[in-house]
Structure 1
Amino acid sequence: MALAGALAIAAVPATVLHAAAPTTAASATPDAVAAQQRTATEKLLKELDRQTGTIPIPAAKADLNLGDQYYFVGPEQSRTILVDIWRNPPAAANGVLGMVFPKGKSFVDDTWSAVITFEDTGYVSDDDAKTIDYNEMLANMKAADEEHAPEIRAQGYPAGILQRWAQAPTYDAGKHSLVWARDIKFDDMPEDSLNYDIRLLGREGVLSMNILANINQLDEVREAAKTFAAVGSFRSGSRYADYNSATDKKAEYGIAGLVAAGGAAAVAKKVGLLAILAKFGKFLLIGVVALFAGLRNFIGGLFGRKPAIEASEWEAPADEEKRD
């Protein structure tokens, strides 16, 4: 298997580690983390439930039409991949509805994968789509990542710092889809990570398909995203065009809020900030909510894929392991 690239790169709920006892990231020794990863990986490779065809996403009232070119992994096994194997903070997997991989590949291969979530924020207006300054937003998000990095490192996890737009945000008003890509540098990783975001707007919220890869796969993933972006669809009655302004909930932010805050919009909403910020207009919303961007590491906006052992060790013969 082509493991080296995937296990040496960076990649949004409760399963304990498949080891004798869970160990916190802050206190675990490298050997203990490696053992936990090895055990979780070997177990999941044997048990991985690959689902193809049309996959219902009840929480979003939507479907993923995967055909036989992709397969879906449910939320429990996705959590194992994200937390136990790829070493993301446990809260990073909260709300994850599943993951999608290309046919013939798995979480140990040098390939892209997609994390599926749904944000039940209500109808997100696209009125601001043509007036957003994405350069300014990028600067704010990078500053926020840098500000919150010490807190993340103190928890024993690698911090991720946004470097640039790998693809500037683009909104398709006809399909009500938003696509953008972030080049992210994680601590101690030899290559930057690529987070490719695809958001489909619906009547009651936003379906998120966050593609994970490394930055040198940008061209490959860009092409894959063009096809993969079309696999998601809301069901009749839950589509963007079905919105009824007289009865339906409306999100307190627009396209700018989706990109600037990402998952952090949910945090801001919980503490009541969005309602306050909405009174001061979208530009303040972009700047202030972006300060929460560092929390994306914990709630799904950024995912890491950090190995604890060399790729070759995954395939060590059983007798060699016993001698060790």
Structure 2
Amino acid sequence: MSNLRILTLAGLLVGLMIPSVLAQEAAATAESAPSPEEQEAQRKAFLDKIESFGWKREGKGQLGSMAEVQIPKDWRFTDGNGTRELLKLYGNLVGDTELGMLTTEGEGPWVIFEFEDSGYVKDDEKDQLNADEMLATLREIQDAGNERRREMGLGELQLLGWAVAPRFNDQTKNLEWAIRVGSANGESINYSTRLLGRHGVMKVDLVCTPEELTALMTPYQSIISGYQYLTGNSYAEFREGDKVAKYGLTALVAGGAAVAAGKMGLFAKLGGIFAKMGKAVILVVVAVGAAIKGLFGKLFGKREQI
């Protein structure tokens, strides 16, 4: 299926891309595209590399010592090490918070699990989630991110609004929202779920196009339903004396979690301006993949819808 990835400038395909194809996309030269045979060879080499990361296709995937997730039919799971290897293959910066990933076969969508050991996040703001105020904050972050993108020679992105306004499920203790991100190359959706636990927050993110969102919601929500904290780690098992986070639900959406916890995470490597914004900068860089979406289409062809 057609799919956007969280990409940075470096190492888009770690040497597996054909330089002439990159030149064609970047400079719109008249160079000829790879032959069908060359494209198929590139595709096979790329998928073989992905397959080498060690996948589990049934049962439950272990998310470190924190949780586990049921592996849906036609999906596969890799642990934190495999997740980091795959992210690096696509040119992403990685940290030490990735615990696992679910994806379909081939070039399917990604659902990535990361744990922020911030402590117990109180839900006392659950009835005070102001979508307009949070969107304004996110746009301020995005403006700063665009400044950095210009320095890197990248086009600006537009935060178009909510695809799903922030909402909290008091029964499951899940917070979710979805942002629409636009660029000169189209629009993408960043769908985020935060699963509150005793010791912190499991962060789950899905990136897709608006056209894919409806079809992906059923399998995505099935994945969320199949998630379970291990004994001793659930939100309901909080005890007096446990570490309590210094922020609430609003900060989780606005991206203040990483800042409040003093954790710069993946984007510290991008420099001070990104570090100050913490993990919320994912909303700024997530659509970089749109710039080479056409190139992926030429290399791998149209991907099967799930």
For Structure 1 versus Structure 2, the TM-score category normalised by the shorter chain is 0.7 to 0.9
Which of 252, 258, 264 pairs up with 2:252? 258
Q: Is the 8 A contact 2:5 2:286 kept in 1?
A: no
Which of 50, 53, 56 pairs up with 1:51? 56
1:145 corresponds to 2:142 = yes
Give the equivalent residue in structure 2 for 1:313: 299
Q: Is the 8 A contact 1:197 1:210 kept in 2?
A: yes
Which of 156, 168, 178 pairs up with 1:181? 178
1:19: how far off? Answer: 3.1
Give the equivalent residue in structure 2 for 1:30: 22
Residue 249 of structure 1 aligns to which amino acid in structure 2?
Answer: K
Per-residue deviation, residues 38-85 of structure 1 (Å, max 9, x unmatched): 5972542452532132111125x1111224342112334433443432
Give the equivalent residue in structure 2 for 1:249: 243
Q: Is the 8 A contact 2:113 2:204 kept in 1?
A: yes
Per-residue deviation, residues 69-110 of structure 1 (Å, max 9, x unmatched): 42112334433443432x44x25x5522222114xx33x24x
CA distance in 1, matches of 2:263, 2:53: 38
- Correspondence list, 1:276-287, <5 A: none
Residues 248 and 300 from structure 1, CA distance in 2 versus in 1: closer, same or farther, beyond 3 angstroms?
farther
Which of 253, 261, 270 pairs up with 2:262? 270
Per-residue deviation, residues 110-135 of structure 1 (Å, max 9, x unmatched): xx321110010000000111012111
- Correspondence list, 1:42-81, <5 A: 42-52=47-57, 53-59=59-65, 61-81=66-86
**Could you tell me the TM-score, scaled by structure 2's length?**
0.73
Residue 297 of structure 2 aligns to which amino acid in structure 1?
Answer: A
Q: Is the 8 A contact 1:163 1:182 kept in 2?
A: yes
Residue 95 of structure 1 aligns to which amino acid in structure 2?
Answer: T
CA distance in 1, matches of 2:89, 2:154: 13
1:98 corresponds to 2:69 = no
**Could you tell me the TM-score, scaled by structure 1's length?**
0.70
**Unmatched runs of 5 consecutive residues or more in structure 2:** 27-33, 35-41, 265-274, 302-306
RMSD value over aligned CA atoms?
Answer: 3.8
1:30: how far off? Answer: 3.4
Q: Is the 8 A contact 2:142 2:284 kept in 1?
A: no
- Correspondence list, 1:101-180, <5 A: 101-102=103-104, 105-106=105-106, 108-109=107-108, 112-155=109-152, 160-180=157-177
Per-residue deviation, residues 294-318 of structure 1 (Å, max 9, x unmatched): 8634699846434373523347xxx
Residue 64 of structure 2 aligns to which amino acid in structure 1?
Answer: P
Residue 70 of structure 2 aligns to which amino acid in structure 1?
Answer: N
